[in-house]
């Protein structure tokens, strides 16, 4: 049985990330979804193995890797916290190193989360998205 190519594996991980994005977009404040144009964010891997972010609002294809001419993400319609999350998604796609579950709506000191999702929506996102291999899975304890 032939081994899968690195490119195929990256594209598979991009699909996992897109599943997480859909879960985030379907709850709470609906980050990564634009109701105005009825479009979700997506991430894709090109033929060279580079990761691109397709913005929900602007529809622009944004190169996510650092470049010698700067790291401006023209057309990115979200804030810095979500940009950092997208960079983590990119790194997962490239390296297969799962993210810490704490990236899903980081907690604040007053039992809220930085995304401003309601408690039920945040719990749903954490449970559903946290089960996808994009995030570190809990280690089953010995009985």
Residues of the chain with pLDDT > 70: what percent? Answer: 94
What average pLDDT does this structure show over 130-143?
78
Q: What's the pTM value of the predicted model, to 2 decimals?
A: 0.89
Is the pLDDT assigned to residue 73 strictly greater than 90?
A: no
Quick one: pLDDT at residue 140? 61
- At 69 the pLDDT is 77
Task: Specify the pLDDT at position 86.
Answer: 96
Extents of the domains making up the chain: 6-130
Q: Does residue 121 surpass a pLDDT of 60?
A: yes
Reduced 3-state DSSP string for the chain: CCCCCHHHHHHHHHHHHHHHHHHHHCCCCCCCEECCCCEECEEEECCCCCEEEECCCCCCEEECCCCCCCCCCCCCCCCHHHHHHHHHHHHHHHHCCCECHHHCCCECCCCCECCCCCHHHHHHHHHHHHCCCCECCCCCCCC
């Amino acid at each position: 049985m032939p081994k899968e190519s690195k490119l195929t594996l990256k594209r598979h991980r991009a699909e996992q990330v897109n599943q997480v994005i859909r879960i985030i977009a379907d709850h709470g404040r609906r980050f990564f979804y634009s109701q105005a144009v009825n479009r979700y964010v997506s991430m894709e891997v090109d033929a060279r193995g580079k990761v691109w972010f397709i913005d929900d609002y602007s529809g622009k294809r944004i190169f996510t890797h650092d470049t010698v001419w700067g790291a401006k993400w023209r057309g990115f319609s979200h804030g810095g916290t979500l940009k950092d999350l997208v960079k983590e998604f990119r790194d997962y796609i490239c390296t297969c190193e799962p993210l810490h579950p704490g990236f899903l709506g980081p907690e604040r000191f007053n039992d809220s989360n930085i995304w401003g999702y309601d408690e039920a929506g945040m719990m749903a996102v954490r449970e559903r998205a946290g089960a996808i291999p994009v995030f570190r899975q809990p280690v089953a304890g010995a009985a």
